[in-house]
Structure 1
Amino acid sequence: MLAHINVTKLFPAAYKAVMAVEEATKDAADVAGIDPLTVDLVKLRASQINGCAFCLRMHTQDALANGETTERLALVAAWWESQYFTPVEQAALTIAEQITRIGDLHTLPAPTVDVESILDEKQIAALTWVAITINTWNRVAISSHYPVAP
């Protein structure tokens, strides 16, 4: 286990660079016409897979503030088992899982969602950046042991 060192405080320039990527990713999602709730779902799913309590709490609160329901939030971890998510959301969640589990792609069964028939290139690229960015934030928060208390 890594030491309890907050990497963001020790190297604030790196933190600011990740924040700049976050802003560029948000802009890309906006330009690609990705619904903010879909972005929230991608961030939640990656954070679930990575076990990032800090990001789970933050993005659950964001999703609720953006109008998401608690019923759908409860099903994100098993989205493919439900009929709650639109084809676009299913494609976005597929991207989130593929990027988050990139090292395991050859051993895990992939959901049967034809992403390219649902999303255009810009949408796929934007959602890929969302998944890459939240995975970065998950790693920052987990390795820095960000506190998560009620």
Structure 2
Amino acid sequence: MTTSTAATDTVVPTPAHVSRLPLAERLPEFHRAMLRLEAATAKDIDPTLYHLIKLRASQINRCAFCIDMHSKDALAGGESVERIVQLSAWEESGHVYTERELAALALTEAVTVLTDGSVPDEVYARAAAHFEEVELARVIAAIVTINAWNRIGVTTRMAPGHYAPRPA
């Protein structure tokens, strides 16, 4: 991780625990828009499913800040340690998740990775079989929103470890 200094035009290492750019401070309108997007996305979606989606996408994207945040939120929301620990190997640990959760996790993985530039028909069909259209739209919105947050966190190298969930 590096930053460029204008005076010397040299590269100076930035410690991993220091954010590269306080984006929320530099672009408060953008940050408020992201918070509104988050609020709209979180509305009327099953909180357990929402936490799994957010945490899995964050694992794939290697966003340490979001992994820290969403694992803490999931635990505070009543999620089990076992299901959080097994999430990175959800396909091999399918017995600890519901069929709906497995379908949502498969869709999360496909949308987040976009391996072949598309979401495979069988992955989409599996999710569509478990969710009504409005529910499926909420799942897709959750996946898209957390991927946006992950890109902010990874790019600005937001430091994990300082987040505490709000009391319910």
Q: TM-score, normalized by length of structure 1? A: 0.86
- Does the CA contact (< 8 Å) of 2:65 and 2:161 recur in 1? no
Q: TM-score, normalized by length of structure 2? A: 0.77
Q: Percent identity?
A: 37
Alignment deviations for residues 18-52 of structure 1 (CA, whole Å, 9 cap, x no partner): 1110011011xx1xxx3201100000000000000
C-alpha change, 1:111 and 1:9, in structure 2 (3 Å) is: farther
Alignment deviations for residues 73-100 of structure 1 (CA, whole Å, 9 cap, x no partner): 1111111112110011111111211211
CA distance in 1, matches of 2:78, 2:161: 24
Q: Which has the higher helix share?
A: 1
Q: Any gaps of 5 or more consecutive residues in structure 1?
A: none
- The Cα RMSD (Å) is 2.3
Matches within 5 A, 1:17-32: 17-27=33-43, 30=44
Moved over 4 A (4+): 106-113
Given the alignment of the two structures, is residue 61 of structure 1 paired with residue 61 of structure 2, yes or no? Answer: no
CA distance in 2, matches of 1:111, 1:2: 42
* Aligned residue in 2 for 1:75: 86
* Aligned residue in 1 for 2:141: 129
Larger Rg: 2
Say which is worse superposed, 92-101 or 129-138, in terms of deviation: 92-101
Q: Any gaps of 5 or more consecutive residues in structure 2?
A: 4-19, 163-168
RCO comparison, higher one (Cα < 8 Å, 6+): 1
Look up the equivalent residue of 2:142 and give its one-letter code.
V
* Aligned residue in 1 for 2:116: 105
How many residue pairs align between the two structures? 144
